[in-house]
Structure 1
Amino acid sequence: MRCEDGHDDAAYVLGALSPAERAAYERHLATCSFCREAVADLSRVPDMLDRLEADEFARWLDPDHAVEPERPRKPQGRVKTFSVRLLSTAASIVLILVLGGGVFAWWWMGQQAPAEPVFGPAVAMSSIESTSPIAATIQLAGSESGTKVRMQCEYSVTAEPYNFKLIAYGPDGEKEQLGSWLARPGAEFSMDGGTRFTQGALARFELVRLDNTKMLVLDVK
């Protein structure tokens, strides 16, 4: 599942958002583990590119580019330092923009392939009512940024279509919405999401209708 606000992550790292957009995106980051992980990954790119030499970056952009041997020059002090920094910043922008093309993704995966999360057994959520049109199970896996959550649910063939959402509760009543979907009669739905709460801090999951009517619950502790 991809967050609909994920297209702002690179612009946020590069400082290209307006003050209002940046404030709105930071509020979104507080409740979205997907975007927090994307920003954490992208924030490493400029630091890595700062270590690239100008000639090396030119060859990376154009393998046929021939760089003449550098002639001895007099030290140019702050002017040279500014030029190197400017080129490094331009390199960062170019490389982040080609992420969608897969060039950097291929290189990054080769350097640091993330381990697949190991989910625990599926646990059935309990129904609030004696009869419920929806049934669901939840699996958990620990992660560096919190907890990965995998949910699977089934909806009764006789029920009306309705929108549902899954909410995780942490300490002191804190909560975070993990996702929402439209349940159709007789349909099955699965969702992989995540919460900032660690497994030790997770207290409860609630599956609720869009009008906040509780349908299913699962107490973690």
Structure 2
Amino acid sequence: MRCEHEHDDGAYVLGALSPAERVAYERHLATCSFCREAVRDISTLPDLLSRLDATEFAKLVDPSLSAGEEHHPIRRLVTRRKTAKNLTVRVLSSAAALLLIALVAVGVLVLTRGPSAPAATPPGPAVAMMPVAGASPLTATLRMTSKAGGTLINLTCSYSESATKPYTFRLIAYGPDDEKEQVGSWQAAPGTDFPMEAVTHFAAGSLSRLELVQYDGKALLAYDVP
């Protein structure tokens, strides 16, 4: 199971998100261990970028610059202070870091150009499910996206570290006249996060409520759809 924000870590670390997107992503990081680990893995990128020589990066992106094309448009924008020998030594000593930086640069370029295909329906805002009765060992946030034939639900559930044992939980969707269906189930271990993507046939306007219940049917969290 993958997170819908798995491609946002690079833009977040490089400061390419808008203020609103950054706030939303930081709120998501609080509930998603997958994204927190991804951000932690590339958190040194800004420092690496600040140390990268402009000539080296230009030649890494466009190898033709190494062939002595004096009138190449990128060639005119970068410094000529480094010799070919020094460049070879630097590239060999930091090949892994330069490759990672190049991949991030391509990713940012794709993000700025935008998709060529029509944009997909944007997901709804992240909303928190509320305890049904008293304190709950679970917390959960969800997003709902209208799809042809129903509603896509992205759920992120956190199980308290203070819980004594793993337990099985279910997500139930309610429609008109108390009609309901189970759209997912999972076993959670104490202190873990669980992301899940599910689909219900209840479309916008007919989906009335989502409940997170124990396997014995006891409701722990709920969200009433406006």
Q: TM-score range by the shorter chain?
A: 0.3 to 0.5
Normalising by structure 2, we get a TM-score of 0.46
Normalising by structure 1, we get a TM-score of 0.47
